[in-house]
Amino acid sequence: MLRPVDGMDCHLLGNCRKHVTLLPNDVPMNPDTLSIVIPTFNRNDKLANLIRSYRSFLPDSARILLIDDCSPTPIAETLQAEGLIPDNRITITRNVVNFGLAANIIECFKQCSTEWMWLMSDDDAVSRESYTQITKVLQDVSQDCIFVNFSSSLYARDHAYYTTGVTELLNQLDSVNAFRNLLFMSTGCYRVQTFRNSIRFGYQYAYSLAPHLAMLFTSMTDRKAYFSPEKIIDQGYPENGWSAVNFQMIKGALLELPLPWTDQLFTHFATILSNDYNDDETYFKRILLGSAMNPGKYEVFLFKTIIARNPYRKLSPIKRAKRLLFLFILQNPRFIFLYKLLRKDLPNIKTNKDHLYRHHRI
């Protein structure tokens, strides 16, 4: 049993491991150097399948840390019932209350005790080849590298390269998908100790739903990040814990970070963020359905906030006219029939406020 830390109930299902120093590049990597760390909430069956897969190929010296965000049925109970624990490779800690997605990601940085952390979503499958690729890359990166980003189905690189400092890191984002690949948790490995001083920024900007990026950007200073062409994973599609409407409202918080902004850098990154956007109708429809087809001032506020948070998005005259139409309908619900005429597939919602945005867990 681990001693409770920072309001945690900690249950050790394996041995306690101490901090491990990264070995020189010419020495084979000790697997103790890397932990797979998975923040999770109420996805017990999916996680059990994931752990079952890991157990089939991970070496005995591998490390898996599961951080259970106070799931209704404790993760440990499910894994034990499935015969997946005890296992010396697996450690589980459980939050005494539900911290939410963002704060649970921060817990990963606080609780990981190995040199490197592979921050992994609980709905992304990993292969034996992926684990081998990662350990090799981490063995070869330079000693002043604190972050490694791999390719994925979202974004593929044709060569490897380093960036130094946050300005160079942000400037190398050449597309929306490059940003999404950075946001995608499971493509990143972090040299954990170097992020300790930036945990406060993770908490301060947790409402961005990207605390790992807030900590990354504020940790870079003159440090290096390595971008690998190796594809290690396909993107998962989370079923809970994420709201597209909410993210569009708050992603602009990343622009509030205390970084060495220049006009060029700010405009570049703000444009990337603004273009990480489907279209107005996607969010209008979600908001409309979320209000049970009865929008009020709150729904108008949501839509206006999404627009305001994407100021660098260029619109054609037709798209600008559609935006005004969507806003008009939200402000004047009696004209919803106009949209129904255009969209025959729109469901006939009769229930009260839907969960699509009002009750998402963040």
Residue 261, pLDDT > 90, answer yes
CATH 3.90.550.10 in the chain, residue ranges: 8-245
Q: What is the pLDDT of residue 195?
A: 95
Q: What is the pLDDT of residue 348?
A: 55
Residue 297, pLDDT > 50, answer yes
Residue 29, pLDDT > 80, answer no
Q: Which residue has the higher pLDDT, 216 or 5?
A: 216
List of residues 6+ apart from 352 with CB closer than 8 A: 292
- Round to whole Å and give the CA distance between 145 and 152: 20
Q: What is the pLDDT of residue 311?
A: 85
Q: What is the pLDDT of residue 224?
A: 96
* Average pLDDT value for residue range 249-259: 92
**Where does the pLDDT of residue 350 fall: very low under 50, low under 70, confident under 90, or very high at 90 and above?**
very low
Q: What is the pLDDT of residue 357?
A: 45
**Where does the pLDDT of residue 235 fall: very low under 50, low under 70, confident under 90, or very high at 90 and above?**
low
Q: What is the pLDDT of residue 248?
A: 86
Given a contact cutoff of 8 angstroms between Cβ atoms, the answer to whether 116 and 192 are in contact is yes
Q: What is the pLDDT of residue 345?
A: 61
* Average pLDDT value for residue range 288-298: 88
Q: What is the pLDDT of residue 232?
A: 85
Q: Which residue has the higher pLDDT, 282 or 265?
A: 265
Residue 240, pLDDT > 70, answer no
Q: Tell me the percentage of the chain whose pLDDT exceeds 90.
A: 54
Q: What is the pLDDT of residue 15?
A: 33
Q: What is the pLDDT of residue 336?
A: 87
Q: What is the pLDDT of residue 37?
A: 96
Given a contact cutoff of 8 angstroms between Cβ atoms, the answer to whether 6 and 110 are in contact is yes
On average, the pLDDT of the chain sits at: 83
Q: Which CATH architecture has domain 8-245?
A: Alpha-Beta Complex (3.90)
**Where does the pLDDT of residue 166 fall: very low under 50, low under 70, confident under 90, or very high at 90 and above?**
very high
Lowest model confidence (mean pLDDT) among 19-28, 32-41, 224-233: 19-28
Query: Per-residue pLDDT tens for 47-100?
Result: 999 899 888 888 888 899 999 999 999 999 999 999 998 888 999 999 999 999
Lowest model confidence (mean pLDDT) among 81-90, 124-133, 322-331: 124-133
